[in-house]
Each structure stands twice: as C-alpha cells, then as structure tokens.
Structure 1
Amino acid sequence: MDEWVERVDGRDRLLGVVSRREAIREGWLHRVAVMVCRDERGRILVHRRSEQASRFPGLHEVEVGGAARVGESYEQAAARELAEELGIRALPRLLFAFINRGGLSPHWLGVHEAVVPDAMVPDPDEVAWHGWLTEPELDSVLLEWRFTPDSHEALSR
C-alpha cells in the first residue's frame, strides 16, 4: 500500500498531496524525517535494514526514519517512525533539514537526534540487526559496510 506525502518546493513549501510512489517516480520533492539515536553513553545506534525492506534492503543505516505523512511536522514523523521501527518513544531534536539529491529521488531530509534507551523491540520487517557503536567504531565500519545514501549524507553534514 502506498502512502500519501506532501509535495513541496525548493523552499519546503507545500505544493500538494501525492503518493510517495509518484513523488519518487517523478522526482518531486517531499519530506523525509530521520533520527540519529544515541544512548546515555554517547554511542550511536546502527542497524541493518531487513532483506524485505522496500527501499535499500540489507544496507546499514545510522538513522531511523521515513517519509513524513500529510500534515506531519518533521519532528512528528521522526517520533512516529522511531516508535514504529524500534518500539521506543523519544523527543526528537531537529538538527537541520536540507535537500538530499542522493538515493531514490530528491527529498527534503530533516535530521534529528535523541537519546534513547538501550532496550528496544525492533520491527523485524524493518530491522534485521542493530548495535551501538562509538564514533571511532562508526568511522571504521563506514569504510567496510554498505550504508544507505541518507546515512552518508546526514553524517557528512
């Protein structure tokens, strides 16, 4: 089942409502919200997407997220996606948003961060594996493991 998203312009202003599939196919800007999660020790959550994931199956990510639904703010979308994918609740803090031209299609990417508990219940349809890495460990695996385009873009900023 496809989801409905808000098509936006280069200034992130609403143009209309479209299906996400159509936005990707046509290369229309829409909003995606992601959250970089840290534990209380400062380690970063890294996970590998399930092989059944519709986008980037089997690749690693440093963020949890997805498309913002119609009427959702970046923060609301990031919090909803965190609850859906990892079974935890946290208050996201928006770090920045930018037009990301990598990946399947161009989109506005709202990057958030939050401190989350170690205990989580990942959705197996979304997450095949997860672990906590220090920043030096993450720097090392970024050269060895395959990561999603959004992960590289978010980390480079």
Structure 2
Amino acid sequence: MCAVDELVERVDDQDRVLGVVSRRQAIREGWLHRIAVTVCRDEHGRILVHRRSEHLSRFPGLHEVVVGGAVNVGESYEQAAARELAEELGVRVLPRLLFTFLNHSGLSPHWLGVHEAVVPDTVAADPDEVAWHGWLTEPDLRSALLEWCFTPDSHEAFSRYLEFRTARS
C-alpha cells in the first residue's frame, strides 16, 4: 500500500537526485520527486480502469487509467512500476518504460514515468487501493474520460500515452 510519508528521492528539473525526503514533505514543499505508473492492457488490447478506494488520502473515489505510485529511494522507474502492479493488482510482470515527463497536475509537481504492460484480464486487486476495476476499449475509455471523474494524472498520462503510441506507428 502506498503511504504518503514514505521516503523518496528529491530530484531536479533534469530528474537528477538531490537527496532523500519524505513524500509528505515533497508534496507539501512542491519538491520534484518520481512517480511510476503503468497503462495495463489485456491480450485483446483493452485498458484497465479502476476507481480508487474511498478511504485513500489522495483522490479518494476517483477513477484512474494508470496503476502506480512513488518511486522509492534507490528504485528505478521500472522497479517501482513492477512493485506497484504486484501490490495493487497482484500481477507480476515487467512493465516497459515508454517515457518520462515533468507533470504539474496532481498534488504537487513530479516526474512521471509512464509504462505499458500486458496483464491477465483477471487480476487480484487490493481492496484497500482499488474499489472497482474493469476493462475498456480505447473508444469507451475516451468517452469515460469525459463522463467519469478521473485523477488529474490520468488525463495527462493517457493523453501523452496516446501521442506516444501514434508517433510510434
């Protein structure tokens, strides 16, 4: 489970490590730190969407297009993404880092490492983190993003994810 007071690496605007701080302090002070997220697809290309548990301190009850959390001290983006998938969905896969960007949406500015992974369509979501989950096609997800309440990171990360995939084609 993701705790707001975990230790993270404070980084600069080039994503270089400056030191170790608590995540709570990084958020409060607006210091850059790292977050790793994964867009999860099933073998049919559908995208996993989930709703955050109501008791979470950050964005309770909002939907997300990505699964992830803070990059711990000494972890790579890929290691953090894999750890978060195991913790939140019970899935053990190696996500592929697609890109990073300086994200200004959310509680505070942070570097966001966006990954992609193909995961089984049956996941064991942690009820402390995930209140609901389902699989949507891209067109259905585009509609949901306009109708449902999503986290700020979801909009930005998914938009950039689609741009990345279009540029690769």
TM-score clears 0.5: yes
Amino acid of the structure 2 residue aligned with 1:35:
T
Q: Structure 2: how far apart are the matches of 1:34 and 1:75? A: 9
Q: Percent identity?
A: 82
The letter for the 1-side match of 2:29 is: E
For residue 143 of structure 1, what is the aligned residue in structure 2? 146
Q: How does 1:43-62 map to 2 (within 5 A)?
A: 43-62=46-65
Matches within 5 A, 1:8-157: 8-157=11-160
Q: Secondary structure at the match of 1:143?
A: helix
Amino acid at match of 1:151: S
The one-letter code matched in structure 1 to 2:37 is V
Q: Distance in 2 between matches of 1:112 and 1:47?
A: 17
Cα distance in 2 between the residues matched to 1:54 and 1:85: 16
Question: Given residue 117 of structure 1, which amino acid in structure 2 is its aligned partner?
Answer: P
Unaligned runs of 5+ in 2: 161-169
Deviation (angstroms), 1:156: 1.5
RMSD between superposed Cα atoms in Å? 0.7
Distance 1:119 1:144 in 2: 25
Partner of 1:142: helix, strand, or coil? helix
Q: Which runs of 5+ in 1 are unaligned?
A: none
**How big is each residue's C-alpha offset from its partner over 1:97-142, in whole Å with a ceiling of 9 and x where there is no partner?**
0000011000000000000001211110100000000000001111
What's the offset of the Cα at 1:54? 1.6
Q: CA deviation digits over 1:69-106, x for unaligned, max 9?
A: 00000000000000000111111111110000011000
Aligned residue-pair number: 157
TM-score (norm: length of structure 2): 0.92
Greater share of helix residues, 1 or 2?
Answer: 2
The Cα shift of 1:53 comes to 1.1
Query: What is the CA-CA distance between 1:51 and the residue it aligns to?
Result: 0.1
Matched position secondary structure for 2:98: strand
How far has the Cα of 1:3 moved from its partner?
Answer: 0.2
User: Could you list the runs of 4 or more consecutive aligned residues of structure 1 that deviate by over 6 angstroms after TM superposition?
Assistant: none
Give TM-score scaled by structure 1 length.
0.98
One-letter code aligned to 1:62: V
C-alpha separation between the residues in 2 aligned to 1:49 and 1:152? 15
